[in-house]
Amino acid sequence: MSTDRHISRRQKLLQALRKAQVPALLVTNPKNVTYLTGFTGDDSSLLIGPEILQLFSDTRFETQLQTECPTIPVEIRNAKLNMSELLGRELPKFSLAGIGIESTSMTVELFNRLTEKLSPIPLIPQSGVIEELRQIKDAEEIDELRLAVQQAEKGYRLMKSLLMPEMTERQAAHELEHGMRRFGALKAAFEPIIAVGDHAALPHYRAGLRRFQESPFALCDWGAISPRGYHSDLTRVWGTGKVAPKLLRIYGVVLKAQQAAIAAIRPGVSCQSVDSVARTVIDQAGYAKYFGHGLGHGIGLDIHEGPRLSPISSEELKPGMVVTVEPGIYLPGIGGVRIEDDILITRDGCEVLTSVSRELEA
């Protein structure tokens, strides 16, 4: 339901629009509409500006809108009118000198249609203005992220208890997703990655038909979406038998890199420097070329959002941000190790939200 926190978010957005000299913003990213209004449906847009707050939706969501954000005016279209036609008809009524658009989410087709229908009102591309606000989580968002972590961890422990040597990666992934739902998750945050043996060297592997009895080593990357839409993201590896010495070595290197990076996290530290801490540990161990991705990313209403922990990110960490820390080493034909936890930046340091053991358990 639309609450005081949604009002506060809209006020912060209006300040940003005022600074950018944008008269109003047409919000088309469904996650951003949710963030600003509390409405959890899709296929809807929001126009926001000084003295302007107007939702545009369709008849499928009429009752839902009345429940979730009853104080926000809504223009409802029927089946004879598509969204671009509705916006083209209604937006000129606000007599705006220009309208900001979300350049990272609006399709080229919608942009072209609105440009034609709204002429001579200019459309002003804006990038990341709401996403930047979303980086700092409020208390309720942090509670939702904690819940998403708990649901993911409970589902993981249940899946581990059900594993059998003849089970395939895909069967385990199905058990994992079912387990998270049993513990209250809306669904999996993404298709779980369960990789046995050398499949673990593929960072975004899709669970297949390899059976656990075919290798003594497996990797699992998974997460849950809480009922209000917030994502968790974790990765663990475990042994199902005698693990090769080389994999044991890189496990120790990755764990050391992750622990060093987490210890470096606090407000005011750059994302680039935290990435560098972990990358230095891996580089010094001789595995520099086997760690090609960034150290981590923000999580929230999206599984990947700002800030980014990477060699090219100059952003500074701030209290209320929640990021993953997930160094990895991937050896083609042998296997890979990634260890991932969800970290809340606090006023004086950080808090690890995840609790699953990082030990290489059999």
* pLDDT tens sequence across 95-137: 999 999 999 999 999 999 999 999 999 999 999 999 999 999 9
Of the candidates 243, 253, 238, 248, the one whose C-alpha atom is nearest the C-alpha of residue 287 is 253
- The rounded Cα 112 to chain-centroid distance in angstroms is 29
Residue 203: inside a domain, yes or no?
A: yes
Which residues are CB-neighbours of 314 under 8 A, at least 6 positions away?
270, 271, 272
Q: Is pLDDT above 70 for 221?
A: yes
> Does 74 share its domain with 167?
no
- pLDDT tens-digit series, residues 70-104: 999 999 998 889 999 999 999 999 999 999 999 99
> Does 109 share its domain with 189?
no
Over residues 245-261, the mean pLDDT reads: 97
User: Could you say which of 69, 102, 133 is where a domain stops?
Assistant: 133
Question: What pLDDT, on the 0 to 100 scale, is given for residue 362?
Answer: 55
Please give the Cα distance from 70 to 49 (Å, whole number).
Answer: 19
The three-class DSSP label of residue 173 is: helix
> Does 128 share its domain with 156?
no
User: Could you say which of 108, 133, 158 is where a domain stops?
Assistant: 133
Residue 206: inside a domain, yes or no?
A: yes
Domain range for 218 = 139-352
Over residues 279-303, the mean pLDDT reads: 98
CATH number of the domain encompassing residue 104: 3.40.350.10
> Does 59 share its domain with 125?
yes
Structural domain count, the chain: 2
User: Could you say which of 133, 151, 181 is where a domain stops?
Assistant: 133
Please give the Cα distance from 186 to 224 (Å, whole number).
Answer: 7
- pLDDT tens-digit series, residues 121-180: 999 999 999 999 999 999 999 999 999 999 999 999 999 999 999 999 999 999 999 999
> Does 157 share its domain with 61?
no
Residue 79: inside a domain, yes or no?
A: yes
C-alpha angle with apex 259: 256 to 261, nearest 5 degrees?
A: 110
Over residues 207-235, the mean pLDDT reads: 97
- pLDDT tens-digit series, residues 31-43: 999 999 999 999 9
Question: What pLDDT, on the 0 to 100 scale, is given for residue 2?
Answer: 54
For the chain, percent of residues with pLDDT exceeding 70: 99
CATH number of the domain encompassing residue 253: 3.90.230.10
How much is the pTM? 0.94
Q: Is pLDDT above 60 for 298?
A: yes
Query: Tell me, what amino acid is at 115?
Result: T
Task: Say whether the peptide bond before residue 311 is cis (omega within 30 degrees of 0).
Answer: no
Query: Tell me, what amino acid is at 221?
Result: D
Please give the Cα distance from 152 to 63 (Å, whole number).
Answer: 31
> Does 246 share its domain with 294?
yes
Q: Which two tokens stand for residue 166?
A: 């003849």
> Does 68 share its domain with 171?
no
Q: Is pLDDT above 80 for 3?
A: no
Composition of the chain by helix, strand, coil, percent to 5: 40, 20, 35
Q: How far is CA 135 from CA 14, 240, 293, in A?
A: 17, 38, 21
Q: Tally helices (H) and strands (E) across the chain.
A: 10, 18
